[in-house]
Amino acid sequence: MILKRDRNDRGLTTGSWLTSKHSFSFGRYHDPGNMGFGPLRVINEDWIRPGTGFGTHGHENMEIITWVLEGVVSHRDSMGNEVSIGPGEIQLMSAGRGVRHSEYNASDDTELHLLQIWIMPNQVNGEPGYQQRQFADGEFHNSFHLLAAPEGEEQSLSLKQDARIFAGRFDPDVHHVRELNPDRRYWLQVARGELELNGQKGMAGDGFALEEEHGLELAALTATELLLFELPK
């Protein structure tokens, strides 16, 4: 079964410095039918104006992943990290028993565009942690590459949940077939471009929930960037 979460049905938060679209309930946007997908709790697509951002705030017991599409994030946290994150990098912050951080657009003239993802951990009140890794463009080329997984398997970042996150960038007219485990559930988020997934058309901002599927077949209609989440049932 494949269910599409249309980009135009997402929740919306707007302000003087931020536009944010929510695939699942978040903040003041509440949709009882879209509270998450298994432990995948948040997918927010954010556009942050130059020189602005999220001031210092706290989190507990959440795996927080940042995937930058355009621009550079300036990140500072209570663990002593002061770093920048750009396209092709993944940031994973394990909030554990509590962490505080800020995230700003590092540019004074260019908008920052990113996806922020929250995954509920399978262990709570642990030690907060921070991980970041830069990937080469070729690692995603016309295939899915593992970004994060339990115990950091295959040199990925270590995720405190029985879940895996993959990224793929596909050239126009590329067809890709991937075997899926029907005993797992999957979420495919279209970050850029247009594609057909098992016969359904998707565009940037769309999400697809896949359950009891044995495989996915995608055809990139344009240059396409995707995030694929493998999750427990």
Whole-angstrom distance, CA of residue 220 vs CA of residue 224: 6
For β-strands 82-85 and 2-5, DSSP reports them as unpaired
Q: Which residues are annotated as a binding site for Fe cation?
A: 57, 59, 101, 103
Backbone angles phi, psi at 7, to 5 degrees: -55, -35
Backbone angles phi, psi at 153, to 5 degrees: -60, 150
Q: Edge to edge, what strands does the sheet with 144-149 contain?
A: 2-5, 207-211, 185-192, 224-231, 164-170, 144-149, 157-158
Q: Which residues are annotated as a binding site?
A: 57, 59, 101, 103
Whole-angstrom distance, CA of residue 218 vs CA of residue 12: 28
The kind and range of the H/E element at 141 are none
Dig out the tokens for 106 from the structure: 């590092």
Q: How far apart are the first and last CA of the chain?
A: 14
